[in-house]
Structure 1
Amino acid sequence: MIDVEVVYAAVDRQCLLTVAVPPGTTVRAAVLASGMGREFPELDLAGCPVGIFGKQIAEPETRVLQAGDRIEMYRPLLADPKEIRRQRAAKAAEAKRLSQQ
């Protein structure tokens, strides 16, 4: 057996679970076996995006784990960061224009 960590951070709390899995276990299989669904029943464990040490995994159904891997489960963004920056820049430009009048 190898030990891996599975982590998830909701808006109001976070959870880190250590899971012992057999060698050859995939990322998605470890997520499903982690028990994270009991902690966060609203999570779609079979479809949520995941990564290992901050790097998103494109195919978690085929990526095999190594001992000590830290699987991170990602929640959807509430807003696009690029759009938020655009809005902030536009607001600052408007404020500057109004202050120069």
Structure 2
Amino acid sequence: MITVSVAYVERGEHFWRTLQLPEGSTAQQAIAQSGLQQRFPAADPERLKIGIFSKPVQADHILSEGDRVELYRPISTDPEQVARRERNDHEGQQS
């Protein structure tokens, strides 16, 4: 058996589950066993990207002891636009 965790964030709500799985288990199996989709139906591993410690992997990736499986939602805001807006707001307040 190996110990892994599954992590997901949606609208500020965090999901983190630690699981014991048989050796040879995949990222998709960990997601299915975690109960994530019961709590967040939109967290569909068929549609969302999956990663292990921020590195993209396929759903059939074989897990290792201590892996953290993560599901990534699409970015809804361009981070560069946010940074630009914050700089402009900050500069306007200093005047």
For Structure 1 versus Structure 2, the TM-score category normalised by the shorter chain is 0.7 to 0.9
Identity across the alignment (%): 35
Q: CA deviation at 1:21?
A: 1.1
Specify every segment of 5 or more residues in structure 2 that has no aligned partner in the other structure, as ranges.
Answer: 89-95
Q: Could you list the per-position Cα deviations for residues 14-36 of structure 1 after superposition, in whole angstroms to 9, with x for gaps in the alignment?
A: 01001111100111221122110
Q: Are 2:78 and 1:80 equivalent residues in the alignment?
A: yes
Specify every segment of 5 or more residues in structure 1 that has no aligned partner in the other structure, as ranges.
Answer: 93-101
Q: Could you list the per-position Cα deviations for residues 65-89 of structure 1 after superposition, in whole angstroms to 9, with x for gaps in the alignment?
A: 001101111111102334x269x38
TM-score (norm 2): 0.77
2:24 equivalent in structure 1: 24
SS state of the match for residue 79, structure 1? Answer: coil
Deviation above 4 Å: which 4+ runs of structure 1? none
2:59 equivalent in structure 1: 60
Q: Are 2:1 and 1:11 equivalent residues in the alignment?
A: no
Q: Tell me how far apart the structure 2 counterparts of residues 45 and 37 of structure 1 sit (CA, whole Å).
A: 9
Q: CA deviation at 1:42?
A: 2.1
2:47 equivalent in structure 1: 47
Say how many residue pairs are matched.
90
The answer to which structure has the higher strand fraction is 2
TM-score (norm 1): 0.73
Q: Tell me how far apart the structure 2 counterparts of residues 21 and 3 of structure 1 sit (CA, whole Å).
A: 6
Equivalent residue letter for 1:33: Q
User: Could you tell me whether the CA contact under 8 Å between 1:52 and 1:70 is conserved in 2?
Assistant: yes
